[in-house]
Structure 1
Amino acid sequence: MRHHAGIIGIATYHPETFMSAEEMAEASGLPVEVVVEKIGVRRKPVPGPEDTTSNMGIFAARKAIENAGISPEDIDVVIWDGAQHKDYLNWLAFTKVCHEIGAINAWGFDMESMCGSMIVGLELAKSLILSREDVKIVLLVSGYRNCDMINLKYKPGAFLFDIGAGGSAVVLKKDAGVNEVLGSAAIADGSFAEDFVVPVGGSRKWPMTKEDVDEIWFHITCDPKDFKERLGAVTLKNWYSVIDKSLERSKLTRKDIDYFAMVKIKRSAHHEMLKELGLREDQSVFLENYGHVGQNDVIFSLEDGLRMQRIKDGDNVLMVSAGGGWTWNAAIVRWGKVID
């Protein structure tokens, strides 16, 4: 018998409060048309008092467990694949998740690949399920509120103004019989490692001074003048490379793609990728009403695709993301019943 890892439950969470494109435009000084059309966001969720990074993942995890029809005690491994910007510095989020949801039999770990973390998490969960006799069910949990690290007055970071807050969770099971995780691929380019950082608050610049905070340096910066040019020169090429490699590892081609679950990027780039892959607009969802919620984007897109009936049984779902620093990631999930 061929063993596999399949998705048996997904869920997302976003705060109830949103910032509109008009509010973003007013705060940043950009025309609202630039926010909507170029940055590509009509609104984005912003965290409320209870929306800590871990809590947003926990809210999603509870729903995913319910959707999967399992008990928290059935979970063998919990992987936190949410943001590094957690409730506390130097802190494990997965242990709080286990405690809050009642996963009393689980072990786990926190992992990070920036906005590629959910796709890397799928590969890690699949690998554990297929290699360990004692791992049958894995829960992936992600919370994200890097919006705290965005300064709307910092014009070089305008492409980040769509960053919001939210969470997602995925339950995977050994030999689930449905929604098989197929091939994945990743590329990393460390030449961008220090071009896209919060320049204070880490060991490189510790302790922070009052001036560090007052002079608004406690936010993501991308200062090198050639950063965007260098990134733009390789991004699409690297995305198409990981897409093709993940398809090859799944014994598929571009013609087999049925749905495109894409990380939130600017509107023009999203449509360019659809065209390159030979896909229609109704084979994806552009996340203009969620903003960019990091690694959770692909699950927001998957959930919307199912709700809007753009994904049906037997469809090959291509999930694509990228993480600052820099990584490019892709994975394939065949939705519906597993066929040997």
Structure 2
Amino acid sequence: MPAPLAVRAAAWHLPEKQVDLGDLPELATLTSQERETLFSLGVERIHVADESDDTGLAAAASRKALTETGLGPEDVDALIVVEQRAPGRLVASETTRLQDLLGVRRALTFGVGGLGCVSLAPALFAARGLLAADEEMTHVLVAHGSKSATPRRYRHPVTLNGDSGQALLLSRTGRVRVIDMVQETNGSYWDLFHVAYRDRPETEWREECRDQVAYSFRLAVESRNRISALLRQLLDRNGMRREDVAGFVSQNLSAGGFAFTEDALGIELLPACRENLREYGHLGPNDILFNLYTSLERKELSEGERAVLINVSPVAAWSLMLVQAGEGDGDDYL
């Protein structure tokens, strides 16, 4: 039985500035095929943070989460930072910079990453491990700032990146209980998407796909098989059937990505996923919890119901999370 883990508070910082799809600065540089794919993603606009970097976005969301719970910096026992894809400085530590900005000076602090969007999963595994290992630890803050790694926000042929900050205050009890998590990776795709940067100025950075056939076909088939098997594993080991899941949530890549996931699993995603894709684009590791909480706010999920959160990254990594809405006492985890 997994150790108790719950989200006591969740907060997001979404920049006020909006850029409509037709106003993207890079639009004029795209090929006709790239433009066609871009306009078929299902994204209408993104939110852009011109004046803030990844760490600033994470800090803004973290302050909101602490304010929501009435906690101060001294109450945070651990800070886990989901690392940004393109740090502002090499060798320096954006992780301890966030610690300093928040003033959580006594918090055990470290970063996790390397799995793209799925990097949220190891952060949650680590948080659960800390809470299980140390009975004096009560509050673990997991934070991430998501910005495009390059000046070009369109990642052909995958998605369009918007900006956001996310903070999750984790404990043993809370509004959303994390019942179970599963994750797998395949290192043969480690550089399928990459940005060459050492020999060129930042204005020329561009994310490239090493092999679009591998992405569109081989990885697609493997992803279909992986998430299907992971869902069976997740449900079987928790004594559940597909019918026991009240809702499914996915990351926001594209309308085609939603259709792929729904077809692969024989499910229907909650409406909040498509609405957030339309309004915000892809928010990296912040997508799935943002979609979940939007679903809760809109009553697409009710108290006590369970949902499965699906996350896929082309590095390649796959993770599924089983959660339940509603406060609990921490002792009734299946």
TM-score, structure 2 as length reference: 0.87
Matches within 5 A, 1:60-99: 60-99=61-100
RMSD, matched Cα? 2.5
Matched, 1:324 2:326: no
- Kindly indicate whether the alpha-carbon contact (under 8 Å) linking 1:145 and 1:165 is maintained by their aligned counterparts in 2: yes
Matched, 1:231 2:210: no
Deviations 1:28-58 (CA, angstroms, capped at 9, x unpaired): 355877434x322111122212x10100011
- Kindly indicate whether the alpha-carbon contact (under 8 Å) linking 2:192 and 2:314 is maintained by their aligned counterparts in 1: no
AA at the equivalent of 2:38: V
Task: Give the corresponding residue for 2:171.
Answer: 173
- Kindly indicate whether the alpha-carbon contact (under 8 Å) linking 2:58 and 2:144 is maintained by their aligned counterparts in 1: yes
Task: Give the corresponding residue for 2:209.
Answer: 222
Whole-angstrom distance in 1 between the partners of 2:38 and 2:278:
10
Deviations 1:88-124 (CA, angstroms, capped at 9, x unpaired): 2233223222222222320110110211112221222
Greater shift in the superposed pair: 123-132 or 224-233: 224-233
Whole-angstrom distance in 1 between the partners of 2:235 and 2:151:
35
Task: Give the corresponding residue for 2:179.
Answer: 182
Task: Give the corresponding residue for 1:40.
Answer: 42
Q: How many residues align?
A: 322
Whole-angstrom distance in 1 between the partners of 2:224 and 2:272:
18
- Kindly indicate whether the alpha-carbon contact (under 8 Å) linking 1:259 and 1:283 is maintained by their aligned counterparts in 2: no
Matched, 1:5 2:39: no
Whole-angstrom distance in 2 between the partners of 1:186 and 1:237:
13
Whole-angstrom distance in 2 between the partners of 1:127 and 1:197:
31
Task: Give the corresponding residue for 1:263.
Answer: 251
- Kindly indicate whether the alpha-carbon contact (under 8 Å) linking 2:246 and 2:307 is maintained by their aligned counterparts in 1: yes
Shift of 1:332: 1.3
Whole-angstrom distance in 2 between the partners of 1:119 and 1:93:
20
AA at the equivalent of 2:71: I
- Kindly indicate whether the alpha-carbon contact (under 8 Å) linking 2:65 and 2:168 is maintained by their aligned counterparts in 1: yes
Whole-angstrom distance in 2 between the partners of 1:8 and 1:191:
37
- Kindly indicate whether the alpha-carbon contact (under 8 Å) linking 1:75 and 1:138 is maintained by their aligned counterparts in 2: yes
TM-score, structure 1 as length reference: 0.85
Task: Give the corresponding residue for 2:189.
Answer: 192
Whole-angstrom distance in 2 between the partners of 1:266 and 1:186:
22
Task: Give the corresponding residue for 2:240.
Answer: 252
Whole-angstrom distance in 1 between the partners of 2:238 and 2:69:
25
Deviations 1:2-45 (CA, angstroms, capped at 9, x unpaired): 96221110011122222212124555355877434x32211112
Q: Name the SS for the 2:98 alignment partner.
A: helix
Task: Give the corresponding residue for 1:59.
Answer: 60
Q: Name the SS for the 1:55 alignment partner.
A: helix
Task: Give the corresponding residue for 1:129.
Answer: 131
Task: Give the corresponding residue for 1:205.
Answer: none
Greater shift in the superposed pair: 284-293 or 105-114: 284-293
Task: Give the corresponding residue for 2:116.
Answer: 114
Structure 2: stretches of 5+ with no match in the other structure? none
Q: 1:298 aligns with which of 288, 293, 299?
A: 288
Q: 1:158 aligns with which of 124, 148, 156?
A: 156
Greater shift in the superposed pair: 21-30 or 58-67: 21-30
AA at the equivalent of 1:35: L
Whole-angstrom distance in 2 between the partners of 1:62 and 1:270:
32
Q: Name the SS for the 2:287 alignment partner.
A: helix
Deviations 1:211-254 (CA, angstroms, capped at 9, x unpaired): x34993x2211133533232222122222222332333433332
Decide whether aligned partners of structure 1 residues 254 and 91 sit closer, same or farther in structure 2, where only a CA change above 3 A counts: farther
- Kindly indicate whether the alpha-carbon contact (under 8 Å) linking 1:313 and 1:336 is maintained by their aligned counterparts in 2: yes
Decide whether aligned partners of structure 1 residues 149 and 236 sit closer, same or farther in structure 2, where only a CA change above 3 A counts: farther
Task: Give the corresponding residue for 2:144.
Answer: 142
Query: Percent identity, aligned pairs only?
Result: 21
AA at the equivalent of 1:319: L
Structure 1: stretches of 5+ with no match in the other structure? 202-207
